[in-house]
Structure 1
Amino acid sequence: MRYTTLGRSGLTVSRACLGTMNFGTSGGGACEETEAARIVDAFLDAGGNIIDTADGYTGGQSEEIVGRAVKSRRDQVVLATKAFLPQGPGPNDRGLSRIHLTKALESSLRRLGTDYIDLYQCHQWDDSTPIEETMATLDGFVRSGKVRYLGCSNFSAAQIVESQWAAQRTNAAPFISLQPQYSLVARGIEAEILPACRRHGLGTLVWSPLGGGVLTGRYRRGVVPDADSRMGRLKASALPMARAWADGLLNEPNLDIAGHVVETAAELGMTPAAVALAWVRHRPGVTSVIIGPRTLEQFHGNLAGLAKELPSETIAHLDEISRSAGTTIVNGMSTPR
């Protein structure tokens, strides 16, 4: 397992990050607790140390499952979670206000069964709350010892800059990380977001490196996705946002790119998923790659893919065929994640 520091901090994290959005059986989850615990143990045994969850994943089940799974090995884990998503019906039950973040943090600590969180992240931007209020509130968490480092997810370049400037103005702890979407079919962060991260001291924990599963070669033109696949579940979702996200990924350009990945994998004797993951790991500005397995078998396949080295000519070919590809999602409001 390779390691590096996260952003402009002394926090060391593994180049693979275990994402747990699938842990649980409610709210779209597809991984029972027993299997999730096996995945967590295998990840830590392999030398991985950063595990990411969120209060909005599977109705809170993900945090509960992660907390129980790491309880006996808590000191080995960089535990990351996120807040923003609705936690109730009230007007103050969502967002990045002081009132909501304070309640959300206490709830996450309870579900995770811990008294501190290593990396506490804003799940997305909140237009209705002054960023100075958010950063001052988060700084209070750090000063209290309940949080050690701060990060954000799905922020635009301008929002990153605003946040870091607000932290400076209020003498507050800054963000050290960003979680952006990034893959061969989602390269929108390269133009402005990755440069902003470099300038303002943020490492990156990139999510959906397999393009929602599109880059595994599982989906074909004119073929309805299997009901048990991620795209199948999204297309059957009652949420219009989820259906739109699936339709946006399963478009002609992205399926063309997936076809090239399948061909490249066959030439190299690799799986398509391994090719897609290895490409992401090679990219400048990527600190750690979030993998979100539903089974232990998927976990081992993903970890093996991240360890692969691609020939330079293969990287150049994949860069070229994906350069104009299209799913550019930089705001969590646009995705069901």
Structure 2
Amino acid sequence: MNHPVLSSLLPVVLLIAIGFIAGQRQWIRTSAVKDLSNLVFVVLAPALLFRTMSTVHVEQLDFKPVTAYFVAAGLIFFGTLVLRGFSRTAAVLALASTFSNTVMIGIPLIGFAYGDAGLVTLFTLISLHSLVMLTLATVVLELAVMRESAADGQRAQRHMAATVALAVRNAIFHPVPLPILAGLLFAQTGLVLPAAVDRPLQLLGTAFGPLALVLVGVTLAQTAVGTHVRGALALAAAKNLLHPLLVALLGWALGLGGLPFAVMIVAASLPIGANVFLFSQRYAVAEDLVTAGVAMSTVLALATVSLVMALAGRLG
């Protein structure tokens, strides 16, 4: 249990397992899952995101080590859209192939393996991770929703510029990007959250990770996972193996090395983050497949992250 990978991943697997048992025994019924998803997405996630970003000062961040990470994620994200076609399903699966569990798993894992120096690099990534990946996914999803609605005759076809403008507006005024932007703006003022505000936000944010993972387990219990094994394996392979491989290749091409490079490779190998499941719930698409993908990616990470860490140590 002292191994950093096992110490970080087993609690996540156990939380999903607890949710699975609760779902199987009907302690949490199907009718309640949507409400719990809204609680996590609309209340807990904004509290966590705002509080985390409220202490980030942009001028202190070193963006060089994370360049390879986001370039690799972008190649996979848009490559998925090209292969699967522009739709809500493709957008959610593209996010699943690129969005790492950097907080729940990444922080303890990197802390155990690389110490404070590694955490500095990881926190630089975390400060941008949700802002870049979730905002990108939201813009694409909002555009896809508009396109599908127009195709169904629910809306008149808009001029492309107007469509993009509305999608960006919907992406900003959204439970995920909005608290990130608000937290960043607050941090630049130099002010500190008063304890009476910070403490409730901390409590809400702390509840996010466990409840989100338990919710994955509940949905997993209500899902015929056997019918999604192949798709879940494909998502896990893209996230756990393809993403770190591309980061390693791009980092090598950019001349990166040392501890920051190793941390970015390992961060890219982290399993699919629970936020992807929440996006699939919110946009009502690929819920069963994403649920199976998150679970399989997390379980397989016990082996794949260990492999990537060993190889990253040599490259770094």
Does the pair score TM above 0.5? no
Q: Which of the pair has the greater relative contact order for Cα pairs under 8 Å at 6+ separation?
A: 2
The structure in which a higher percent of residues are strand is 1
TM-score w.r.t. length of structure 2: 0.31
The structure in which a higher percent of residues are helix is 2
